[in-house]
Amino acid sequence: MKLKRKNVGAGILMFLFTVLFFVLTSKFFLVASSQSAEGVDLIEYGQRKWMKSDVLDAKRGTMFDRNGEVVAQDIPSYSVIAILDKNYPNHIKDPEEAAGKLAKVLDTDKENLVELLSKEGRFQVEIPSGRKVSYRKKEQIEDLKIPGIDFLRESRRYYPNQTFASHVIGYTGNGGKGVQAGLMGLEKSLNNYLQEKDGKITFLGDAFSRAIPANKESVEKPKHGQDVYLTIDEKIQLYLDEAMQEAAKEYEPEKITGIVADPKTGRILAMSNYPAFNPNEKDIKNYTNFAVSYPFEPGSTMKIFTLAAAIEEGKYNGNEQFQSGSYKLPNIGRPIYDHNRKGWGTITYNEGVQNSSNVAFSKLVREKLGYEKFRSYISKFGLDQKTNIDLPNEKNGSILYNYEIEKVTTAFGQGSTITPIQQIQAATAIANGGKMMQPYVIDKIMNPETKKVVLDNEPKVKGKPISEGTSKQVRDILETVVTEGTGKPYMIDGYSVAGKTGTAQIPGKDGKYISGWGENVFSFIGMAPKDDPKLLVYVAVERPKVEFPEMGSTPTANIFTSVMKSSLQYLNIQPEAKEKQNKSKMKKTYGKELDDYTGKSAKEAKSELEKLGMQVSVIGSGDEVIKQEPYEGAYVIKGERVILRTSGDAKMPDLTNWSYMDILRLSKLIGLKETITGSGFAVKQNVKAGSPVKAGDFLVVQLEAPKETEPELEEDSEETEQNGEGTEQNSEEETIVTD
């Protein structure tokens, strides 16, 4: 009986093995015949089926500042995935519970997650709200211990200083096939250097891509991107960014540009624009790097190079006198005017530079230097060509030099356009003993693995437009602009500054210059210490929101002084002895700081001011001065109007021939709501002279430019000096008006 049972059992096993043999054999021949019919190599087929591979991540090149501080780098990030295949050991077991936990950490909708985690027929899904999360967020999710949740390790570009030099560095985005590529700034222009190439590891694995023991791996190493070292100094860049952000917050301008350079080498230590953006968030409102891609009329900063050319050619005598105010060119209908419209009487050319007299520079070019010679210096200073700085999208300005009026106005910065970086390059010649240095931002590019330098930049002399003696003389004169002239707001305690202000007009859509208080580009280019400049700084602020009497150049001065002083201290440039500073100042030969006349007799105050050469208007029926414009300490010059407000009822004065600024001062003093049209001097007013006026009344005044036959002198293009700062403010719409 036992033997019979054994035979039956053996028969069953034999039957099962036979069936299994035929199934396997049939499958083999079926696969063989089908694959052979398709011309497929069975060995290759087997390798494809069992051969697995993983990507070995490569890293995009890192950007460093000149001191080795990271300003752009790849950092690890993680994308959250969920395994849904129930045949896989670790999979989502309870979609409802998993979704509830994830929703809180990822701040997303639970119901959408439940639907996603419940999909049928999917091996895994990626959680949309869990893409490229930080390591800290990854740890928070891991602490939830949700079965089936895993992570894909990736890289993302990270800019640790947020808006830091954003238009210089740029940003990256998806370049296709999951590889990031530079889309702006140096990230784009240096993409071939920075671009990485992922590696690959190949191995035999099971259906779940788990490596089979004892198999041989094939490894293709990743190729990391090259590292880029910039000339940018993180500290100085942060000083500039912070100062510009403060000015933007307070004055809400349309644009700000700032550049800090080492004039001895041409290295750009900082470059910033407003509006800026955070490349981590890509909240971009402005794609233009104004410093290199935005040519505009420079205004009176151009006078630096006109002055240098005249000195170099031996055509400049600073003690020679001329009649300021206006300058009539033959065959040209409208004269050139100084920015205060009436000038300062007969003054020296040195005083003309300090006052930023357009007449002085018109005469220098037309009567002394000559148009052709001046044009040659425009080229020598590189103002008619790109600097070839190693930044993308550099634009060239336009030198208008066909007609005589264009040749004259170019001398003081109107009509022709140049970029801030062109001005920086040209100014290195003034600061560097006549040698003009090409600006650059890339110091070197290095292989991160071999440490081999693949690109190495060195300082490059672009030319020597002036001699060392001329450069020193120009700096000496430009120092007096800061100590005695229009640049007084740019003085820095402990350091001698040489520089020049600029107030450029802005063409409107109709081709005419925009008029109004603050409707200009206010700029300054300065170097310090004056005798051996270590830093060269350019700042331009376009259309800040300032109200009279605050000067439009105030935000420019705030940025410059903050950045220059902080940077000099950071570089351990010791302050100069006070004795040296005092010796360097020229004795003032014009104007004065206005005294406080409040509480004094109006009659006595009027008499005293008239003896100083001021025009005086008394408003009110009382005897005692209660207010004054300009206020105490304001810097006033001979011929300027001072308005005294006394107690008692106010009556409207005759405004004929009053300037734009005089009318604004009157409105402020009484509290009127003024509307001023045209440019030049007052010719009509809606409130008759002698009529009572009070705070809140409306005043409408029409201005007209003086006729050619009138002997009265007018302005041309500089900021009007006031407020005790000697700052220039252009309030006119004349064709020939700039700073």
Structure tokens at 154: 């990736």
Q: What is the pLDDT of residue 213?
A: 59
Q: What is the pLDDT of residue 730?
A: 39
Q: Which helix (H) or strand (E) is 673 found in, with range?
A: strand 673-678
Distance CA 418, CA 356 (A): 19
Sheet holding 498-505: strands in order across?
268-274, 255-261, 535-542, 520-528, 498-505
Q: What is the pLDDT of residue 629?
A: 85
Residue type, 175: G
Distance CA 304, CA 259 (A): 17
Within 10 angstroms of residue 568's Cβ, the number of other Cβ atoms is 19
Q: Quick: pLDDT tens for 135-193.
A: 788 788 888 888 888 877 777 888 988 899 999 999 998 766 657 789 999 999 999 99
Structure tokens at 498: 């040489």
Q: What is the pLDDT of residue 738?
A: 47
Burial of 530 (0-12, 13-18, 19+ CB in 10 A): buried
Query: What radius of gyration do the chain's Cα atoms show?
Result: 37
Q: What is the pLDDT of residue 662?
A: 82
Q: What is the pLDDT of residue 696?
A: 84
From residue 189, alpha-carbon distances to 170, 185, 210, 390, 697 in Å are: 9, 6, 42, 9, 59
Contact (Cβ atoms closer than 8 angstroms) between residue 211 and residue 47: no
Q: What is the pLDDT of residue 391?
A: 96
Sole residue written with tokens 């000096």 = 721
Contact (Cβ atoms closer than 8 angstroms) between residue 628 and residue 597: yes
Structure tokens at 464: 């020597």
Q: DSSP letters along 80-132, please?
A: EEEE--TTSSS--S-HHHHHHHHHHHHT--HHHHHHHHT-SS-SEEE-GGGTT
Which positions are annotated as active-site residues?
A: 300
0.85 exceeded by the pTM?
A: no
Q: What is the pLDDT of residue 496?
A: 95
Sole residue written with tokens 């700084």 = 537
Residue type, 71: V
Contact (Cβ atoms closer than 8 angstroms) between residue 427 and residue 466: no
Residue segments in the chain with a per-residue pLDDT below the cut of 50: 36-40, 42, 45, 579, 581-591, 708-738
Sheet holding 641-646: strands in order across?
615-619, 641-646, 625-629
Q: What is the pLDDT of residue 199?
A: 64
Instruction: Tell me the domains of the chain and their CATH numbers.
Output: 55-230 (3.90.1310.10), 592-704 (3.30.10.20)
Q: What is the pLDDT of residue 304?
A: 97
Distance CA 68, CA 243 (A): 23
- Count the residues in the chain: 739
Sole residue written with tokens 């201005």 = 703
Structure tokens at 598: 């409040």
Contact (Cβ atoms closer than 8 angstroms) between residue 226 and residue 197: no
Q: What is the pLDDT of residue 344?
A: 87
Q: What is the pLDDT of residue 170?
A: 95
Q: What is the pLDDT of residue 167?
A: 95
Q: What is the pLDDT of residue 267?
A: 98
